[in-house]
A and B are shown apart, each in its own frame.
Chain A
Amino acid sequence: MLFVFKTAYEQDFGLFKHAIQRNCYLVLLVLLVVAPFVLERFYIGELSELFIWCIAGTGLMLLVGYTGLVSLGHAAFMALGAYTNVILNKYGVPFPISIILAAFFSGACGLVIGVAALRMTGIYLAVATLAFAYIVEKFIGQGGSFTGGHRGFRVENFEYFGVYLNDPVVFYIICLITLLVTLWLLGNLLRSPTGRAFVAIRDSEISAQAMGIDLVRYKTLSFALSAGITGMAGALYAYKIGYLYPETFTIFTSIKLLMLVVVGGLGSMHGIVFGAMFISLLPQIIALVRDLLPIWISQRRGLEPFVFGSILIAFLIFEPKGIYGRWVKIRLFFSQFPMYRKSTFKRQKSFLRTERVH
């Protein structure tokens, strides 16, 4: 077992718990930087997509995992980011600026929705985001030549200083840098008073309010940030897929993102990465399993949603902390072997008391 001896106050709020952890991350970083130069093109592309899902997951994790609010329309923010980015490009705004503007635009839309929906309980946000997602999809579809309508449009390729943006290695590096910056910002945010306020709201709105946290303000802030980060992921995703049309971002994408945060592990930054790996691998797993099933099941249209829904339910009932929670348990099992006690992780049940006045 590893004991961390603290010798300075700074250790309590450092980004890493101890030097070993920091060094492990450094090794991982080196591996990721070297990866594009040794891997095949296909895997580089897959990794970039994984990074994009990680960024989108970071956005939703901030909202669901750390503030305890559910959004059912986060795909709409991805769509807003993607379309804003591409349209800005069309009008000659260079690429790094357009991505930042896209993030700001979807963040601003999030702010407007948040201001409207967050004055009441969390369920209002869930329904309002769902409605918003439908509206966005409809308007993109009806946008004529501005958004390309239902036929969509091609995402143009860029060239700066002789390098092409759609070159797999270049794009990989861009995605990696964006992801690192996003994760670093989230890590910093969570160690700041604002992040602590989010977590307090998640754990108990009443006690958070009693400690002087302005619920509406912080919830709205969290939602706007979340929308902005997801919008940025959408902007990158536009370059990744190369062709945009309204059906790219549907309710199913939103559910996939929700699954990412739940399966990965609510309220943990590792969970984002685990969840993103999971949802990237799942279609492949389903395709593999499909061949093994009898034909009357495997040919059904509903197989994929069924699997998605069942996994979501199973994780919420049996392992609400997700893959990361399971990993923590396994790690503790070995570090305490043979003294591991199952009750260490016994879930505390709380009795419900309504926040309504009758």
Chain B
Amino acid sequence: MDISQLVVTGIANGCVYGLVALGFVLIYKATEMVNFAQGDIMMLGAFIAFTLSSQLEMPYYIVVPGTILIMAVFGMALERGVLRPMIGEPPFAVLMLTIGLGFVLRAIAGTIWGHQPNQLITPYSGGVIDIAGIRLDYEKLVIMGGTGVLCALMFLFFKFTRIGVAMQAASQNQLAAYYVGIPVNRVVSITWGISAAVAAAAALMVAPLWWIEPGLGLVGIKAFVAAIVGGFGSLPGALIGGIAIGLVEQLVGYTIPGFGETGAYVFLLLMLFIRPEGILATMQRKKV
């Protein structure tokens, strides 16, 4: 296999990690909660897309908004039902709660859709384009393009919209945000909705390329690695970290077959030694 082909695959996979990372960085930025179930929410999105398109045979232009909408509602319901009672609890309790949530979601998906892998067929599936001698499937092209667009949207959203600024305020100081008239509960709820919608978008892009099965949610772990490598809490950092992890994984997997994933994790540990704050540092300790 050609090196350039590896790089393309690495970047495409990395974009997926970046997208999943984007989802929980969003939640982290707005609520300071760490959502370990983000990958599993994406997995659920992929199954819903699969059900809509293959089992209910809806056209693709309905599947896309349909999946995103269903997942957004699901995200808000999840926040209302499970995470609202945890407001004010220590962060490690929330972390463990979302780990448990991941297990539950995976088991539910396994019960409803079974464990055999499925694939989502899209109108653009199977197309190939040749750019300067590099074979590029449409699926990968869509992932790269879609990731870029989503990231730009997120960036603009946090910078310029009222609700985006409200989210930042709520994350810095909930009580103060409440005093200046921000409905903190609703902001948190919306954040979870958006985050689940981002996960659904990631699912829609990745489902034609990867197999849809309950274990798909484990990609969330690599997304976490990506977020830390990129600088936890930074939106562009999540994407850069994702691409870095995707590339490392492909290149190590090519050099030492079977060790691609391990290479990514070793890379994380090395990164923590060399530059713990990540490629784009946003975390600084508050001075006491």
A122 contacts the other chain (CB 8 A): yes
B92 contacts the other chain (CB 8 A): yes
Task: Compute how far the CA of A317 lies from the CA of B85 in the bound complex, rounded to whole angstroms.
Answer: 6
A-B pair number, CB within 8 angstroms? 173
Contact A210 B288 (CB under 8 A): yes
Q: Interface residues of B, CB < 8 Å — how many?
A: 60
Contact A301 B269 (CB under 8 A): no
B171 contacts the other chain (CB 8 A): yes
Report B-chain residues with C-beta under 8 Å of the C-beta of A262. Answer: 96
B9 contacts the other chain (CB 8 A): no
Find residues 83-115 in chain B having any chain A CB closer than 8 Å to their own CB. 85-93, 95-97, 99-104, 106-108, 110-111, 115
A120-B277, A138-B259, A306-B104 given as contacts; is B286 within 8 A of A317 (CB)? no
| Cβ distance A115 to chain B, nearest Cβ, rounded Å | 8
Contact A352 B286 (CB under 8 A): no
| Closest B residue to A320 using CB positions | B93
Q: Contact string, A107-124, partner B, CB cutoff 8 A, digits 1/0?
A: 000000101110111111
| Cβ distance B255 to chain A, nearest Cβ, rounded Å | 15
Contact B106 A302 (CB under 8 A): yes
Q: Contact string, A83-124, partner B, CB cutoff 8 A, digits 1/0?
A: 000000000000000000000000000000101110111111
Task: Compute how far the CA of A305 lies from the CA of B36 in the bound complex, rounded to whole angstroms.
Answer: 16
Report A-chain residues with C-beta under 8 Å of the C-beta of B101. Answer: 309, 313
Contact B92 A68 (CB under 8 A): yes
> When the two chains form the complex, which single residue of A70, A209, A303, A358 contacts B96, counting CB atoms closer than 8 Å?
A70
Contact B103 A123 (CB under 8 A): no
**Main DSSP-derived SS at the A contact region:** helix
A70-B92, A120-B283, A134-B261 given as contacts; is B108 within 8 A of A306 (CB)? yes
A346 contacts the other chain (CB 8 A): no
Contact B262 A350 (CB under 8 A): no
A300-B111, A352-B31 given as contacts; is B103 within 8 A of A308 (CB)? yes
Contact B92 A131 (CB under 8 A): no
Chain A contact residues (Cβ within 8 angstroms of B): what range? 35 or more
A349 contacts the other chain (CB 8 A): yes
A132-B269, A135-B266, A358-B172 given as contacts; is B232 within 8 A of A120 (CB)? yes
Report B-chain residues with C-beta under 8 Å of the C-beta of A139. Answer: 262
Contact B115 A124 (CB under 8 A): no
Contact A300 B110 (CB under 8 A): yes
Task: Compute how far the CA of A247 lies from the CA of B269 in the bound complex, rounded to whole angstroms.
Answer: 23
| Cβ distance B86 to chain A, nearest Cβ, rounded Å | 7
> When the two chains form the complex, which single residue of B86, B172, B276, B288 contacts A317, counting CB atoms closer than 8 Å?
B86
Contact B288 A127 (CB under 8 A): no
| Closest B residue to A203 using CB positions | B90
Contact A128 B269 (CB under 8 A): yes
Contact A131 B273 (CB under 8 A): no
A316 contacts the other chain (CB 8 A): yes
A255 contacts the other chain (CB 8 A): yes
Find residues 134-166 in chain A having any chain B CB closer than 8 Å to their own CB. 134-135, 138-139
Contact B92 A69 (CB under 8 A): yes
Contact A305 B93 (CB under 8 A): no
A64 contacts the other chain (CB 8 A): yes
Task: Compute how far the CA of A349 lies from the CA of B101 in the bound complex, rounded to whole angstroms.
Answer: 22
Listed by A's residue number, 25 A-B pairs whose Cβ atoms lie within 8 Å are A69-B92, A113-B269, A115-B273, A116-B276, A119-B276, A121-B232, A123-B232, A126-B95, A127-B228, A131-B269, A132-B265, A134-B262, A134-B265, A138-B259, A138-B262, A302-B107, A306-B104, A309-B100, A317-B86, A349-B88, A351-B88, A351-B178, A352-B87, A355-B285, A358-B168
Knowing that A64-B92, A302-B107, A354-B171 are A-B contacts, what are 6 other residue pairs whose CB atoms are under 8 Å apart, sorted by A's residue number?
A130-B221, A255-B103, A302-B214, A313-B97, A348-B88, A352-B88
Chain A residues packing against B (C-beta within 8 Å): 64, 68-70, 72, 113, 115-117, 119-124, 126-128, 130-132, 134-135, 138-139, 202, 206, 209-210, 255, 258, 262, 266, 297, 300-303, 305-306, 308-313, 316-317, 320, 348-358
